[in-house]
Amino acid sequence: MKLLFISDIHGSYHYGKKIEEIYEKEKPDQLVLLGDLLYHGARNPLTEEYSPKDLIPVLNKYRDKVMAVRGNCDSEVDQMVLDFDITADYSIIFVDGLKFFITHGHIYNESKLPKGAFDVMVHGHTHIPVAEKKEHFYLFNPGSITLPKGGHPSSYGVYENREFSVKDIAGVEMLKVKVE
């Protein structure tokens, strides 16, 4: 199974159109949206082509392929306009015999782990890409497609065949970790 991870779009129609290009190129089985979809939040600058209203139909066209979690900038109003659920703080899925804990990162993260065992924690929120093995799990963060931080470029993530990679929006691989 191939998963495409996108995080922290923050209402950018410009980067919404980039997601369409990436989706066509990567051809994933599922699109996993890690929160902060439509709004920029009080601490973030306005994004390029900030237009949540125009971004809505771009995201809704993938409604049958989306799994999403709620970010700290997402609201109940967002659920009214999106054709897929974004109300969960986390989701647990099983892929290739691995248990994934998927969340935005503002509630659960490397510093505040959820209860129970899992193989992989996937989250956004920090806008900084990570793909690494920790002591008891793998940590994966695709960074932000719209508002990258720490000198990183806009990025997204891919999981396929027990391997996570972070790519810039041109598709150039930046980070990779193989899950053993």
Confidence (pLDDT) at 82: 98
pTM here is: 0.97
Rg (CA), the chain: 15
CA distance 47 to 39: 9
Position 45 scores a pLDDT of 87
The whole domain housing 53 covers 3-178
Query: What 3-state class would DSSP assign to 17?
Result: helix
Percentage helix, strand, coil, to 5, in the chain?
A: 15, 30, 55
Cα gap 144→152, rounded to integer Å: 9
| pLDDT value at residue 47 | 87
Q: Which of 39, 1, 33, 40 is nearest to 19 (CA)?
A: 33
CATH code of 32's domain: 3.60.21.10
What is the number of alpha carbons within 13 Å of residue 108 lying toward its C-beta?
Answer: 24
| pLDDT number for residue 53 | 97
Task: Let me know the angle formed at the C-alpha of 86 by 110 and 175, rounded to the nearest 5 degrees.
Answer: 40
Total tally of structural domains belonging to the chain: 1
Cβ(58)–Cβ(23) below 8 Å: no
Distance CA 129, CA 103 (A): 15
Give yes or no for a contact between 92 and 112, defined as CB atoms under 8 angstroms apart. no
**Spans of the chain, pLDDT less than 70:** none
